[in-house]
Amino acid sequence: MQEATATVSHSRSAYFDEAQSADIVNGRMGQGIDPRLEQVMSVLVKHLHAAVKEIEPTHEEWFAAVRFLTETGQICNAWRQEYILLSDILGVSMLVDAINHRRPTGATPNTILGPFYVANAPEYENGANICLDGKGEPLVVAGRVTDLAGKPIADAKLEVWQTNDDGFYDVQQKGIQPDSNLRGVFTSDHDGGYSFKSVKPRHYPIPSDGPVGKLLGAMGRHPNRAAHLHFIVTAPGYESVITHIFTPDCPYLPEDAVFGVKSELIADFRKVEDRETAQRVGLEAPFWSVTWDFALAPATKPAHVIA
């Protein structure tokens, strides 16, 4: 009589096989798990395995990738988020932003927030000057906040921030720049109007002293962002806009390190030489002037919350 042998039934695909690798890993997914997690992980596994098959890394190359990710994590702290920076330079931040902010024609487009936004910046009256270090070429920014039909939106909140003329945000140079230099909050008037004084922004490098900077260099890319001012515009009943405006004369417009430029956001900065006009706005000639209007779409989901 033949001795009974224990038989455990395994499907052939339970064991590793190079050709079927992604299906085998995804086949391990449990029952009743969160469907979104299941979708995300199975797509990631599919594309990750496809990339590894196309690249065919050596063990040394794979370990270099692990070391890069380790160093990227190790440099992160309360102020520095190197993984977001990695997402930025790979265009992923802008892609996620685009997917989540498909707006009607005529609405001001979104761009990425960037790491240097600070909540609760000082509130100013329209016309105030946010440049506290006296560096740079004076600039007047003015415009209106409207809905998509051009109707003024009163009491909209406009948060603005930019680097100083040396290319640093105040929070990058605590103790060197005055606190809250070149950032402030304005409120649109009854006609949707807003205005403030600042300085013409310059291009500046993203933080490039870490693994992401090293990667950029190795890929033959520079770390510069095209010159811009950041804005967040919020008003009850409307979709908030996180955006920038760009100077038209910046050489880095077509090669912004984080792909943040959209053609609709390149503004018309004009040099004003006329002394009387300068006097009227409380500046000396020459100064720069830009008119920029924001068009907000009706809110379709709750106003954004910045954690």
Q: Which of 82, 88, 147, 170 binds ligand BEZ (CB under 6 A)?
A: 88
CA angle 292, 297, 303 (to 5 degrees): 105
Nearest one of 120, 160, 168 to 140, comparing CA atoms: 160
- Sole window of 20-28, 30-38, 112-120, 275-283 interacting with ligand BEZ (rule: CB under 6 A): 112-120
Segment lying near Fe ion (by CB under 5 A), choices 14-22, 48-56, 106-114, 249-257: 106-114
What gap in Å lies between CA 214 and CA 218, rounded to an integer? 6
- The interface partner of residue 167, options being Fe ion, ligand BEZ, none and the CB cut-off 5 to 8 Å by kind, is none
> How many residues in the chain?
307
Q: What are the residues whose beta carbons fall under 8 Å from the beta carbon of 236, sequence distance 6 or more?
A: 303
Instruction: Say how far apart CA 248 and CA 57 lie, in whole Å.
Output: 43
Choose among 261, 219, 298: nearest CA to 98: 261
Q: Which stretch binds ligand BEZ (CB under 6 A): 23-31, 74-82, 109-117, 144-152?
A: 109-117
Which CB sits closer to ligand BEZ, 53 or 135? 135
User: What's the number of CA atoms in the CB half-sphere (13 Å) around residue 229?
Assistant: 31
The 196-225 site mask, x for binding ligand BEZ (CB under 6 A), equals ----------x------------------x
Site for ligand BEZ in 239-298 (CB under 6 A): 258
Short-list 132, 133, 90, CA closest to 112: 90
Question: For residues 111 and 188, which CB has a smaller minimum distance to ligand BEZ in the complex?
Answer: 111
Interface segment toward Fe ion; rule CB under 5 A; list 110-118, 125-133, 231-239, 259-267: 110-118
Task: Spell out the SS3 assignment of 125-162.
Answer: CCCCECCCCCCCCEEEEEEEEEECCCCECCCCEEEEEC
Minimum distance from residue 302 beta carbon to ligand BEZ (Å)? 25
**Beta bridge mates, 245:** 229
Tokens of 288: 């720069």
Cis amide linkage into residue 286, ω under 30° from 0? yes
Starting at the earlier edge strand, list the strands of the sheet with 241-246. Answer: 183-187, 157-161, 228-234, 241-246
Q: Smaller CB distance to Fe ion: residue 146 or 177?
A: 177
Burial class from Cβ neighbours inside 10 Å (0-12, 13-18, 19+) for residue 162 reads buried
Q: Which does 140 bind (CB under 5 to 8 A by kind): Fe ion, ligand BEZ, none?
A: none
| Shortest separation between residue 23's beta carbon and Fe ion, angstroms | 43
Among 109, 114, 143, 192, binds ligand BEZ (CB under 6 A): 114
Task: Enumerate the H helices of the chain as residue ranges.
Answer: 21-26, 35-55, 59-74, 82-89, 92-100, 211-218, 275-280
Residue 228 beta carbon to ligand BEZ: minimum distance, rounded to whole angstroms = 7
Kindly indicate which of the ranges 40-48, 55-63, 113-121, 182-190 contains the residues binding Fe ion, using the contact rule CB under 5 A. Answer: 113-121
The option from ligand BEZ, Fe ion, none interacting with 145 (CB < 5 to 8 A, set by class) reads none
Residue 231, strand partner residues: 160, 243
Closer to ligand BEZ by CB, 25 or 84: give it: 84
| Closest CB 257 distance from ligand BEZ, rounded Å | 7
Tell me the number of residues near ligand BEZ by CB under 6 A: 9
Applying the rule CB under 6 A, the residues between 39 and 78 that interact with ligand BEZ are none
Residues that bind ligand BEZ (CB under 6 A): 85, 88, 112, 114-116, 206, 225, 258
